[in-house]
Structure 1
C-alpha cells in the first residue's frame, strides 16, 4: 500500500519539504504507511475519541490515526519545517486535524481536546520517558487520558512492563503498573526507521485504571521507591533507613524482610510499605 489517502507517499513528502531527520530533535521517521496504520490500530477503536499525538514529523502516524477514524487529532510538533506537511493533511481531513508548532513539554493540549482522549505517539527518544512520567503523575487521578499508545526504545518499553526479580524492574515499572494496565503491543527493528536508530523500538499500550491498583499516598510511594532503587544493590533496611526512625519495623509490618532488595519487592508490597510509613 503506497498510501492510505490521496496524499503523496512519505518519502515524497520528505523530499518535497526537505525534511531530513534532525538528531537534535530525536527524530527517526517511520516511512511505511502500513506500519503507521498498524500502530494506530493498537490504540483500539478511535471513532469516539480525540487523539493527542506528539512529534508527528512528516505525518505518517497522523494519517494512520485519521484513516482509522479518530474524531479529532491534535498534533504537537516542535519542528516548524513540518507545518506545511501537516497543513496538507488537515486540508485532506477537514475539521479533524489541528496542529501546534511548539514544545510538547510546554503546551497544554486540553484547550483543544474533548474527552474521551487517547494519546498515540511515536515519541521523540529524548523526551519520551519524561512525558510518560508526567502523564502518570497528574495532580488528580483519573487523568485526562483514557489510554496511552506510545513508541519507545525497546529498553524503555521493557522497563515499563518489567516484573519483580528482573534487571529492568524499577521505578518506571512501579509507576506505570500502579495506575495502568500495561502491555507491549509490537516491536520494530532499526531498519523500519529513517535514519535507522541504533536500537530496537517497541509500542507500549497503557490503559488507565480508574483508581490506583493498590491504595497508597503517591508522594510517599514515590519517595520510597526513589530511595530503594537509587541504591538497589543494598538491603532495604539500609537503603530506606532515612525514611523513618523505625524503618525495619515498618518493613516487617508491610510483609517485607528488611534484608530484601528493591528489585525483589512487588508493587503491592511497596504500596503496603507506603501506607505503613504514612502512619507517622
Structure 2
C-alpha cells in the first residue's frame, strides 16, 4: 500500500515540477517573444534610419555633383574672364606702347625743332633785319635824292621856259636849244621813271621777303603748337590707358599662381606724365 502512495506523491511532485517548468518555459517564451518584437521594432527603426541616411547621402552626393559642376562652370568662367583680362591687358599694353612711341616721336620732334630754332642764331636774324632796315633806309635816301634832283631839274626847266619866253627873237637857234633841252628832259624823265620802277621793285622784293620771313615764323609757331597739342593728346591717351590697366588689375586674382600675372603689372605712376610741362620738354 505504501508503494502506490509513494508513486502517486512522486507523480504529483513531478507534475508540479513539470507545471512549474512549463510555466517558467512559457514565461521565458513570452519574454523572448517580447524581446524579439522589441528587436524587430529596433530593426525597423534602424532600417528607417538607414533609409533616411541613404536618402541624405544621395542628396549630399547630388549636392556634391551640383557643386562640382558649379565649380567647373565657375572655373571655366574664371578662365574665360582671366583670358579676356589678359587680352585686354595685351591690347592696352599695345595702346600704351603706341602712345609712348607717339609721345617719344613728338618729344623728339619738339626737341629737334627747338634745337633747329636755337641753331639759327639770333644774331643772324638780327643781322638780316638790320641789313633789311639798312637797305630800306638806303632806298628811302635814294628816293629822296631822286626827288631833290627832279625838283632841281624841274626848276631848271621852268627857268629855261622863262628864258625862252623872254628871248623870242633868237629864232631857230632858240628853237634848237629848246628841242635839245626837251629831249634831255624826256631822257631824264625816262631815267627817273626807270629808277623809280627799279626802286619800287626792290622795295616790293624787300616787303615780300619780310612777309615770307613772317609767314615762316608763323608756320613754325603753328607747327610748335600742333606738336604740343599732339603731345598733350598722347599724355591724355596714356592716362586713360593707365586707368584701364588699373581697373583690369583689380579684377585679377591675388592668390595662387595667378598672383604672378598681377605682379607683372605694378602700380603705374600717372602723375609723372600728367604733371609733365611742355616747356620743360622743349627746353630739355
TM-score if structure 2 supplies the norm length?
Answer: 0.17
Higher helix share goes to which structure? Answer: 2
Q: Which has the larger radius of gyration?
A: 2
Higher strand share goes to which structure? Answer: 1
RCO higher in 1 or 2 (8 Å CA, sep ≥ 6)?
2
TM-score if structure 1 supplies the norm length?
Answer: 0.17
